[in-house]
């Protein structure tokens, strides 16, 4: 599975779990840290935890059994980061997402997909 397929699979999992404002951002021309960011908003700490678990379980059960290289943050902080190497997932509560504004910080990246 290439990095774009992985990002799309993660976005699909997030959409199934009712995440809001899902965005896949292509960073390949900007930085070596990741090919794509997948960014979304959860409506509560409980939903952030459920989104993290859904991604973890969904990818663990996929054909290549992918596991996150690292998971940072907590639902209580309003920001969870899941590092899948070429794809980094950012799960935010609305206030935290508005504060950090990753879309603006990485604004020169190409938007691959946007799911409301």
| Residue 16 C-alpha from the chain's centroid | 14
**Segments forming the whole domain that contains residue 57:** 3-115
| pLDDT band of 98, cuts 50, 70, 90 | very high
Count Cβ neighbours within 10 Å for each residue of 85-107 and write b for 16 or more, e otherwise: ebbbbbbbbeebbeeeebbeebe
Q: Which of 33, 89, 97 is nearest to 59 (CA)?
A: 89
Q: Any idea which residue has 């935010």 for tokens?
A: 92
User: In this predicted structure, what is the pLDDT of residue 67?
Assistant: 73
> Count of domains in the chain?
1
- What is the tens place of the pLDDT at every residue in 7-65? 999 999 999 999 999 999 999 999 999 999 999 999 999 999 999 999 999 998 876 77
pTM of the model: 0.93
CATH number at residue 47: 3.30.460.10
| Token pair for 23 | 């965005």
């Amino acid at each position: 599975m290439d990095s774009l397929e992985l990002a799309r699979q993660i976005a699909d999992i997030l959409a199934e779990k009712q995440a809001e404002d899902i965005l896949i951002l292509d960073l390949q021309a900007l930085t070596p840290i990741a090919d794509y960011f997948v960014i979304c908003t959860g409506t509560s700490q409980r939903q952030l935890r459920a989104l993290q678990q859904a991604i973890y379980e969904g990818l663990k059960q996929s054909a290549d059994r992918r596991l996150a290289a690292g998971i940072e943050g907590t639902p209580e902080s309003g920001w969870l980061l899941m590092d899948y190497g070429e794809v980094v997932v950012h799960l935010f509560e609305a206030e935290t997402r508005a504060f950090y504004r990753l879309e603006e910080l990485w604004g020169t990246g190409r938007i691959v997909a946007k799911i409301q």
